[in-house]
């Protein structure tokens, strides 16, 4: 008995193996590389090996020795010749603002000179070399493994003596953004529930022919390209767009008083709600369809008003659908990127847009990766909850 | 029944063939890179890229037979750094703001070019002497002057119209949304000038922490009414759609919208920030020979001046200035539309690429944190 | 609607009226944006709003010029070619691997099913920016940056969850005795699959692969991160269009895509109907 079972298990597992392998290589491994990027930053360590070795013995407060100055200057010069100093300096600059120009100017000021005192020559090039903070910045940038990006991702940093401190107020942007993303997702989930519940009810209780027709109305946007739907919102909401034209035409606003409906948070909320609404309606509909109308009828025949019947009998039975739809919409919206990028303007951006910014523009890949890992953990947690509550096997596409 | 089945089989076979062909094509692309025949030149898109294409991309292809593929970007070194860092260089020549050419050159992102190989001026002056002072880098070639100005749509104003830089920052006098480029470059300078800093002191003020604070405070006053643009093509579009009442812009884009599309736009030259750019070859490109050939072609006076026949940007070589005549398509005299025309220079700031080379990193970081708040 | 509702009082009937009005408003909210795009794509003027001529149905105000531009533009042609190439190849991989995996998952003997299912579905719920960033790091290191292959692999893995879910759904009611019967009659596993399982799951396979293709055909973020000039797809081209210079051509392409979506939806619904009537016939 045991043997056929085992071979059946093996056969089943063998069938899933190719895809498990494929997902592992093309998906899990890339996610792993994000994790690595978020803690591993070897570029400075590779570029300044001797300086960093000499800094290991340094106490972190006193003015470094002549030897350390010479080592640093020599490595700077070498890097400058290879045209690699710029990118190293950029990394150090992220820890101590101003270090980029300090390092490049110093390398240039030293030129090919062979001064008697490297210390004097470097301090002459930039007095900041006389202070511990410049050296500390170089030392910290040289850490191969660091949790710095995670600290930065939650608006913290280490000060010169290594204590964890809050970022200055004007640079605390990531936590507020994270909360904004969560808030926006929550608002969208609630709006989708409010808009979607009555519609799902209508579809679930309509005659089959009408139900199919209504369902199509929900499925058409579901199948339509995200970019098309986003474009259409721009067309509708922009200043000279259809909605504003309509409002002007019926006299709600004057031609001068057109409302800014897009390239701000309003645009993000409206477009995302419309795009995610089908993900709410479909699971609600699936649950409602399986609820027998007999229950409500029974309640009403027992003298309950429609409202009582709804609150005590119907609503509790739809809770699985409510949970499934809301969680799905929430999970999808906290990772949303395209729509906020196109219609969000400055104020309608979400955490994904910040990750994209650090991936593509500031090239602070470590920070992008740390933000990504935090977002990923959040989504995975919600995914587990979803799995527990709804069951991933019950996910339906149409 | 059997006929049906064999038909299906044939269809399946056909499908398989198509699939295999696709896969082979994909593999070929993966291995060799699709279309390696030409070079990829990265420019700023829209009417500027159009102008460059007519002015010297196409003539270059005609002369050498090397195909020029045009990709567009929004400036900056990020994408080039990413390519060099990950070892996937697929851009060959990039058209950049001058500060970025210098910075990228420092970082080893660009190939060093010997300016003495550039063709001399018609009178025999060497290219080195023919370039205006400070407008060439050891990694750059070609080059044009352009200007950061602001412009408005005349239809957006029934009464008084903006005429000074101060008006751009005056929400009381001219309410409505403004377009600005999503970068600190030019914006910080405009803010200080509008706040009363004389043009010759702008960079000195910006070099102090208080000066930077002052610029951001000035930007704060209009922050909630600004729509941020990224590509040069956006400002004329936003003005035409009246998404904004006025917008900063590259002057040539507004010029093209005026002459080619008859848009009712007016450029306010007061407080313009005069800047220039150059082309550079991305280090490590496998198509270095073709790229070099292209750069030399782009550095000819005729090529540089030809740009000025399609868009209101002038060459950075002295001898090219004489070649500026009329707009190639409409016959309009180009000179009064150039940023360098005397009447446009009453209050003009010359961008200081050196300052930006040293401070772009910090300013950009601060600017993006400021935007996010 | 439902007869029983009539037994409720006047207030309830009012409520029903409000309910219907509310639902109509929501459905309009869902559909209207797309409906607006279609007529505007025939606008003779380069604007995104209804001109007076359009409102008075003046034929002069309508034109096919944007469609002509799109069809004649080599950029859009290449983008279409790339979209199809990447979409078809990715779908082929996703379908093959997804169907096999779904067969394994549907087997009651499958060990660790919950975990494996979550793993295989995870590409669908992971925020796309994270997937794309990870793939960018990973494929660049392998020297696959800016290649069609990297995009095909990316879209394939993003498409597999759709196939797994659709096929698993069709296998839920599957009677495994049929497999055993087939095997006991001496049929090999491949023959059993082809003759017994495949016909039953065919609707699920096709609709899953249509989903995977549609997902690839609409995907822009991985293309932004992994693709270069040579890998421009339709959505990538639209993305630059929307960000750089919205032209009415975008609306013409959008209209194409709406029609395409309707065709896909029609195909999936037809398959679903067939699957259902097939099952009903069997009962």
B165-189 pLDDT, tens digit per residue, is 999 999 999 999 999 999 999 999 9
Residue C281 pLDDT exceeds 50: no
What single-letter DSSP state applies at residue A130? G
How much is the mean pLDDT over chain B? 89
What does the alpha-carbon distance between residue A19 and residue A25 come to, in Å, rounded to a whole number? 10
Residues of C with Cβ-Cβ distance to A14 under 8 angstroms:
104
More confident residue, C33 or C197: C33
Min Cα separation B211/chain A (Å): 16
Interface contact C45, partner B, CB < 8 A: no
Q: Which residues contact B359 (CB under 8 A, 6 or more apart)?
A: A101, B206
Q: What pLDDT sits at residue C1?
A: 42
Cα angle B277-B278-B280, degrees, rounded to a multiple of 5? 140
The reported pTM is 0.91
Local confidence pLDDT in tens for the 398 residues of chain A: 567 788 889 989 999 999 999 999 999 999 999 999 999 999 999 999 999 999 988 888 888 899 999 999 999 999 988 888 988 998 898 888 788 888 988 998 888 888 889 999 999 999 999 998 899 999 999 999 999 999 999 999 988 777 899 998 888 999 999 999 999 999 999 999 999 999 999 999 999 999 999 999 999 998 899 999 999 999 899 888 889 989 999 999 988 788 989 999 999 999 999 999 999 999 999 999 988 878 777 887 888 887 888 888 899 999 989 999 999 999 999 999 999 999 999 999 999 999 999 999 888 999 999 999 999 999 999 999 988 887 765 666 54
Per-residue pLDDT tens over the stretch C17-43: 999 999 999 999 999 888 888 988 998
pLDDT of residue C248: 82
The Cα C45–Cα C39 span in angstroms is 12
Structural domains in chain B, CATH included, are 39-145+277-321 (3.40.190.10), 148-274+343-372 (3.40.190.10)
Q: How many CB atoms lie within 10 A of CB B1?
A: 5
A157 backbone dihedrals φ, ψ, rounded to 5°: -160, 170
Contact partners for chain C, using 3 or more CB pairs closer than 8 A, are: A, B
**Confidence check on the interface: ipTM exceeds 0.90, yes or no:** yes
Q: Are C95 and C208 in contact (CB under 8 A)?
A: yes
Residue range A80-100, pLDDT digits in tens = 888 889 889 988 988 887 888
Which of C85, C228, C229 shows the shortest C-beta gap to B26? Answer: C85
At residue C2, the pLDDT reads 45
Q: Considering only CB atoms, which chain C residues are within 8 Å of B41?
A: none
- Chain centre to alpha carbon of residue A26: 20
Q: How many CB atoms lie within 10 A of CB A265?
A: 18
| Pairwise CB contact (< 8 Å): A232 & C33 | yes
When the pLDDT of each residue in chain C is averaged and rounded to a whole number, the result is 86
- Has residue B1 got a pLDDT over 80? no
pLDDT in tens, B191-241: 999 999 999 999 999 999 999 999 999 999 999 999 999 999 999 988 988
Other CB atoms within 10 Å distance of the CB of residue B370: 17
Render B176-236 in DSSP notation, one character per residue.
Answer: S-EEEESSSTTHHHHHHHHTT--GGGHHHHHTSHHHHHHHHHHHHTTGGGEEEE-STTHHH
- 3.90.470.20, 2.60.40.3670, 1.10.3720.10, 3.30.1330.60: CATH of C75-246: 1.10.3720.10
| Helices C148-171, C113-125: crossing angle, 10 deg rounding | 130
pLDDT of residue C278: 42
Q: Are the Cβ atoms of B35 and C149 closer than 8 angstroms?
A: no
Measured in angstroms, the CA of C107 and the nearest CA of chain A are apart by: 6
Question: Given a cut of 70, is residue B321 above it in pLDDT?
Answer: yes
Q: Which residues, including other chains, have CB under 8 Å from residue C26's CB and lie 6 or more apart?
A: A195, A196, A198, A199, A277
Q: Is the CB of residue C101 less than 8 Å away from at least one CB of chain B?
A: no
Q: How confident is the model at residue B350 (pLDDT cuts 50, 70, 90)?
A: very high
Q: Residue C6: is its pLDDT beyond 60?
A: no
Q: In the complex, which subunits touch B with 3 or more CB pairs below 8 angstroms?
A: A, C
For chain C, how many helices (H) and strands (E)? 13, 0
Domain borders along chain C are 8-61, 75-246
Q: What residue spans define the domains of chain A? A: 43-142, 174-394
**Angle (deg, nearest 10), helices C148-171 and A2-23:** 150
- Extended strands (E) in chain B: 39-43, 68-72, 93-97, 140-153, 178-181, 226-229, 246-250, 265-281, 314-315, 348-350
Q: Would you state the pLDDT for residue C170? A: 84
Q: Are A76 and A85 in contact (CB under 8 A)?
A: yes
In this complex, which of B33, B87, B230 lies closest to C243 when CB atoms are compared?
Answer: B230
| A361 and B CB contact within 8 Å | yes
> Residue A2: what pLDDT?
64
Interface residues of chain B, partner chain A, Cβ below 8 Å: 76, 78-79, 81-82, 85, 103, 105-108, 177, 226-228, 241-243, 358-359, 361-362, 364-366, 368-373
Q: Which of A198, A199, A274 sits opposite C33 (nearest CB)?
A: A274
Element (H, E) at A166: strand A164-166
Residue B45 in contact with residue B231, Cβ under 8 Å?
Answer: yes
- Chain C CB contacts of B45 under 8 Å are 244-245
Quick one: pLDDT band at residue C15, thresholds 50, 70, 90?
Answer: confident
Interface test mutation site (partner C, options A210, A227, A278, max chain C beta carbons within 10 A): A227
pLDDT confidence of residue A396:
60
Architecture of domain A174-394: Orthogonal Bundle (1.10)
Question: With an 8 Å Cβ cutoff, are C148 and B35 in contact?
Answer: no
Residue percentage of chain C with pLDDT more than 90: 49
pLDDT of the residue at A6: 86
What's residue A297's pLDDT? 79
Q: What's the token pair of residue B166?
A: 């101060």
Q: Is C235 close to A369, i.e. CB distance below 8 A?
A: no
The pLDDT assigned to C46 comes to 76
Note whether B263 and B151 are within 8 A (CB): no
- Give the percent of chain B with pLDDT over 70: 90
Mean pLDDT, to the nearest integer, of C54-80?
89
Do A109 and B131 touch, CB atoms closer than 8 A? no
Q: Are strands A156-158 and B265-281 parallel, antiparallel or unpaired?
A: unpaired
Q: Is A9 on the interface with B (CB under 8 A)?
A: no
Proportion of chain A above pLDDT 70, given as a percent: 98
Q: Which residues of chain B are within 8 Å of residue A100 when distances are taken between CB atoms?
A: 358, 361-362
A271-314 pLDDT, tens digit per residue, is: 999 999 999 999 999 999 988 878 777 887 888 887 888 888 89
Average pLDDT over residues C141-165: 93
Please tell me the least confidently modeled range out of B144-158, B274-288, B357-371: B357-371
In this predicted model, which residue has the larger pLDDT, B213 or B361?
A: B213
Interface test with B, best of A344, A346, A364 (most B CBs within 10 A): A346
What pLDDT, on a 0 to 100 scale, did the predictor assign at position B6?
Answer: 52
């Amino acid at each position: 008995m045991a043997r056929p079972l085992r071979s059946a298990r093996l056969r089943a597992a063998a069938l899933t193996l190719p895809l498990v392998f494929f997902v592992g290589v093309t998906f899990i491994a890339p996610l792993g590389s994000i994790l690595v990027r978020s803690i591993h930053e070897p570029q400075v360590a590779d570029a300044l090996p001797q300086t960093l070795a000499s800094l290991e013995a340094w106490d972190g407060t006193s003015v470094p020795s002549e030897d350390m100055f010479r080592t640093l200057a020599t490595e700077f010069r070498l890097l400058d010749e290879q045209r690699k100093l710029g990118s190293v300096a950029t990394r150090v600059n992220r820890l101590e603002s101003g270090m980029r120009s300090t390092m490049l100017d110093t390398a240039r000021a030293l030129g090919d000179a062979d001064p008697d005192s490297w210390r004097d020559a470097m301090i002459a090039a930039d007095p900041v070399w006389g202070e511990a903070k410049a050296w500390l910045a170089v030392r910290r940038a040289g850490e191969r493994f660091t949790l710095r990006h995670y600290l930065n991702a939650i608006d913290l940093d280490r000060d010169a003596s290594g204590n964890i401190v809050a970022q200055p107020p004007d640079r605390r942007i990531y936590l507020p953004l994270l909360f904004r993303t969560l808030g926006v997702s929550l608002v969208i989930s609630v709006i989708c529930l409010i808009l979607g519940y009555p519609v799902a009810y209508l579809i679930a209780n309509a005659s089959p022919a009408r139900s199919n027709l209504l369902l199509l109305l929900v499925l058409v946007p579901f199948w339509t390209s995200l970019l098309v739907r986003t474009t259409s919102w721009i067309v509708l909401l922009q200043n000279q767009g259809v909605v504003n034209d309509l409002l002007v035409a019926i006299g709600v606003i004057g031609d001068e008083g057109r409302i800014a409906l897009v390239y701000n948070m309003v645009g993000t909320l409206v477009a995302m709600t419309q795009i995610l609404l089908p993900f709410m309606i479909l699971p609600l509909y699936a649950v409602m369809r399986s609820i027998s109308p007999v229950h409500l009828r029974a309640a009403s025949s027992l003298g309950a008003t429609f409202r009582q019947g709804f609150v005590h009998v119907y609503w509790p039975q739809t809770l699985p659908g409510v949970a499934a739809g809301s969680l799905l919409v929430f999970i999808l919206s906290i990772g949303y990127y395209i729509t906020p990028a196109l219609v969000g303007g400055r104020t309608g951006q979400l955490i994904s847009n910040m990750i994209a910014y650090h991936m593509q523009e500031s090239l602070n890949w470590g920070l992008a990766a740390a933000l990504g890992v935090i977002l990923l953990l959040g989504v995975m947690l919600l995914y587990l909850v979803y799995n527990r509550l709804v069951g991933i096997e019950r996910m339906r596409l149409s | 029944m059997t006929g049906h089945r064999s038909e299906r089989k044939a269809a399946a076979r056909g499908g398989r063939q198509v699939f295999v062909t696709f896969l082979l094509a994909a593999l070929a692309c993966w291995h060799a890179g699709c279309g390696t025949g030409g070079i990829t030149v990265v420019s700023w898109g829209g009417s500027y890229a159009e102008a460059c294409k007519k002015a010297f991309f196409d003539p270059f292809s005609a002369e050498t037979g090397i195909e020029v593929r045009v990709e567009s970007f929004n400036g900056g070194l990020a994408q080039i750094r990413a390519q060099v860092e990950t070892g996937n260089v697929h851009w060959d020549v990039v058209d950049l703001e001058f500060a970025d050419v210098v910075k990228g050159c420092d970082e080893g992102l660009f190939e060093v070019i010997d300016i003495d190989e550039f063709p001399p001026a018609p009178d025999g002056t060497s290219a080195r002497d023919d370039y205006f002072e400070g407008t060439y880098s050891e990694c750059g070639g070609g080059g044009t002057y352009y200007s950061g100005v602001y412009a408005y749509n005349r239809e957006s104003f029934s009464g008084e119209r903006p005429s000074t830089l101060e008006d751009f920052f005056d929400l009381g006098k001219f309410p409505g949304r403004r377009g600005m480029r999503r970068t600190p470059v030019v914006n910080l300078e405009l803010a200080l000038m509008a706040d009363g800093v004389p043009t010759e002191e702008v960079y000195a003020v910006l070099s102090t922490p208080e000066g930077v604070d002052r610029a951001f405070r000035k930007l704060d006053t209009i922050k909630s009414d600004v729509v941020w643009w990224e590509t040069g093509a956006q400002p004329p579009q936003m003005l035409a759609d009246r998404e904004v009442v006025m917008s900063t812009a590259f002057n040539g884009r507004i010029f093209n919208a005026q002459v080619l599309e008859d848009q009712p736009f007016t450029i306010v030259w007061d407080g313009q920030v005069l800047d220039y750019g150059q082309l550079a070859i991305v280090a490590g490109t496998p198509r270095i020979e073709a790229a070099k050939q292209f750069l030399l072609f782009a550095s000819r006076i005729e090529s540089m001046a030809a740009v000025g026949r399609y868009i209101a940007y002038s060459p950075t070589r002295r001898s090219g200035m004489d070649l500026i005549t009329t707009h190639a398509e409409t016959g309009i005299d180009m000179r009064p539309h150039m940023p360098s025309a005397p009447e446009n220079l009453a209050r003009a700031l010359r961008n200081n690429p050196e300052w930006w080379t040293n401070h772009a990193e910090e300013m950009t970081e601060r600017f993006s944190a400021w935007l996010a708040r | 609607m439902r007869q029983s509702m009539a037994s409720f009082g006047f207030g309830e009937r009012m409520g029903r009226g409000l309910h219907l009005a509310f639902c109509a408003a929501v459905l309009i909210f869902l559909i209207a944006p797309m409906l607006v795009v279609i007529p505007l794509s025939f606008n003779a003027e380069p604007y995104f709003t209804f001109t007076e001529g359009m409102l008075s149905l003046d034929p002069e105000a309508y034109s096919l010029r944007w469609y002509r531009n799109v069809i004649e533009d080599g950029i859009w042609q290449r983008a279409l070619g790339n979209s199809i190439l990447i979409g078809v190849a990715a779908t082929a991989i996703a379908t093959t691997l997804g169907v096999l995996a779904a067969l394994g998952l549907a087997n009651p003997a499958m060990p660790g099913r919950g975990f494996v299912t979550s793993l295989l579905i995870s590409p669908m719920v992971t925020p796309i920016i994270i997937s794309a960033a990870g793939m960018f790091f990973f494929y660049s290191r392998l020297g696959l940056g800016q290649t069609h292959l990297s995009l095909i692999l990316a879209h394939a893995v993003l498409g597999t969850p759709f196939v797994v879910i659709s096929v698993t759904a069709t296998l839920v009611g599957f009677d495994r005795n049929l497999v055993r019967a087939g095997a006991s009659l001496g049929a090999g596993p491949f023959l059993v699959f082809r003759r017994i399982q495949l016909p039953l799951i065919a609707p699920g396979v096709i609709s899953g692969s249509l989903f995977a293709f549609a997902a690839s055909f609409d995907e822009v973020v991985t293309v932004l991160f992994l693709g270069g000039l040579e890998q421009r797809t339709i959505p990538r081209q639209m993305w630059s269009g929307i960000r750089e210079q919205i032209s009415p051509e975008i609306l013409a392409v959008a209209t194409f895509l709406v029609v395409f979506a309707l065709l896909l939806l029609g195909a999936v619904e037809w398959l679903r109907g067939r699957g259902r009537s097939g099952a009903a016939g069997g009962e």
